[in-house]
A and B are shown apart, each in its own frame.
Chain A
Amino acid sequence: MSEHNQTNPPADGPLWGLLAEVSTPTELVSAAAKVRAAGYTQWDCYSPFPVHGIDRAMGTKPTILPVLVFMGGITGTGLAILMQWWMNAVDWPWIVSGKPYFSLPANIPIAFELTILLASLTAFFGMWALNKLPQVWHPLFRSDRFAKVTNNGFFLAIQADDDKFDREATEALLKEAGATAIEAVHLDADPKKKKMPRQIPAFIAITAVAALVPFACIAKARTSKSSEPHYHIIPDMDFQPKAQAQQASALLPDGRVDQMPVEGTVARGELKADDHFYRGIVDGAWATTFPEQVPPSKESIERGHQRFNIYCSPCHGLSGYGNGMVAQRAEKIGSPNWTVPSNLHQEYIIRQPHGQIFNTISNGIRNMPSYGAQIPEADRWAIVMYVRALQRSQHATVADVPPTLRQTLR
Chain B
Amino acid sequence: MDTAIDKDETPQKSTAAAVFQRVTETVSGVVERRTWPKAWYIAFAISCCLVVLLGISLWHLFFTGIGIWGTNNTEGWGWAIVNFVFWVGIGHAGTLISAILFLMRQTWRTSINRSAEAMTIFAVMCAGIFPLIHVGRPWVVYWMFPLPYDMDIWPQFRSPLMWDVFAVSTYFTVSLLFWYMGMVPDLGTFRDRAKSKIKAVVFGVLSFGWRGSAKQWHRYERAYLLLAALATPLVLSVHSVVSFDFAVSQQPGWHTPIFPPYFVAGAIYSGFGMVLTLLVPARYLFGLGDIIKKSHIEAMCKVLLLTGSLVAFSYMTEFFIAWYSGNPYEGFTFFNRVFGPFQWAWGIMAFCNVVVPHFFWFKKCRTNPWIIMGLVLLVNVGMWFERFIIIVSSLTREFVPATWDYFVPTFWDAATFLGTIGMFLFLFLLFLRYLPMIAMSEVKAATPEAHADHHGTH
Contacts and interface: CB of A to CB of B under 8 A. Distances in A.
B451 interface: yes
Interface in B434-457: 440-442, 444-445, 449-455, 457
A46 B156 contact: no
B197 interface: no
A258 interface: no
B33 interface: no
A130 B223 CA distance: 11
B451 A131 contact: no
Given A87-B146, A152-B24, A127 B219 contact: yes
A65 B214 contact: no
B216 interface: yes
A51 B449 CA distance: 11
Given A66-B226, A116-B170, A50 B234 contact: no
A65 B188 contact: no
Contacts of B223: 65, 123-124, 126-127
A304 B332 CA distance: 57
B208 A51 contact: no
A136 B204 CA distance: 7
Interface in B186-213: 186, 188-189, 191-193, 204-205, 208-213
A50 B192 contact: no
Contacts of B234: 113, 116
A107 B166 CA distance: 12
Contacts of A49: 185, 212, 217, 441-442, 444-445, 450
Contacts of A383: none
Given A48-B444, A50-B217, A120-B227, A150 B237 contact: no
> Interface range on chain A: under 10, 10 to 19, 20 to 34, or 35 or more?
35 or more
A336 to B, nearest CB: 36
A114 B170 contact: yes
Contacts of A32: 214
B450 A25 contact: yes
A146 to B, nearest CB: 8
B201 to A, nearest CB: 9
A354 to B, nearest CB: 47
A148 B153 CA distance: 57
A45 interface: yes
Contacts of A233: 139
A134 B208 contact: yes
Nearest to B163: A109
A94 B156 contact: yes
Interface stretch (A52-60, A322-330, A340-348): A52-60
A283 B253 CA distance: 68
B105 interface: no
Contact of B167 (A109, A120, A153): A109
Given A91-B154, A218-B148, A236 B137 contact: yes
A54 B220 CA distance: 14
Contact of A116 (B21, B62, B174, B211): B174
A133 B227 contact: no
B174 A23 contact: no
A131 B220 contact: yes
B144 to A, nearest CB: 12
A150 B213 contact: no
B390 interface: no
Interface string A140-166: 110000111111110000000000000
A289 to B, nearest CB: 51
A30 interface: yes
B244 interface: yes
A106 B158 contact: yes
B94 to A, nearest CB: 16
B458 A133 contact: no
B441 A48 contact: yes
Contact of A83 (B137, B146, B445): B146
Nearest to A58: B214
A60 B445 contact: no
B162 interface: yes
Given A49-B450, A126-B223, A134 B177 contact: no
A25 B214 CA distance: 12
A52 B21 contact: no
Nearest to A32: B214
A332 to B, nearest CB: 33
B155 interface: yes
Given A66-B222, A117-B170, A131-B220, A234 B137 contact: yes
Contact of B189 (A44, A107, A138, A151): A151
A152 B453 contact: no
Contacts of B137: 234, 236
Nearest to B237: A112
Contact of B174 (A25, A120, A221): A120
Interface stretch (B12-20, B279-287, B352-360): B12-20
Instruction: Identify the interface centre among A112, A131, A149: most chain B CB within 10 Å of its CB.
Output: A131
B252 to A, nearest CB: 19
A120 B173 contact: yes
Contacts of A69: 226, 230
A133 B210 contact: yes
A81 to B, nearest CB: 10
B221 interface: yes
Given A52-B451, A87-B157, A230 B150 contact: yes
Contacts of B441: 48-50
Nearest to B62: A234
Contacts of A114: 166, 170
A18 interface: no
Given A65-B222, A113-B167, A234-B62, 5 more contacts: A48-B20, A110-B157, A120-B177, A124-B223, A136-B205
Interface of A: 23-26, 29-30, 32, 44-55, 58, 60, 62-63, 65-66, 69, 73, 83-84, 87-88, 91-92, 94, 96, 99, 103, 106-107, 109-110, 112-114, 116-117, 119-121, 123-124, 126-128, 130-131, 133-138, 140-141, 146-153, 218, 221-222, 230, 233-234, 236
4 closest A-B pairs (Cβ-Cβ)?
A152-B20, A127-B223, A87-B154, A134-B208
10 contacts: A23-B17, A45-B213, A83-B146, A92-B152, A110-B163, A136-B209, A150-B24, A150-B185, A150-B210, A151-B21
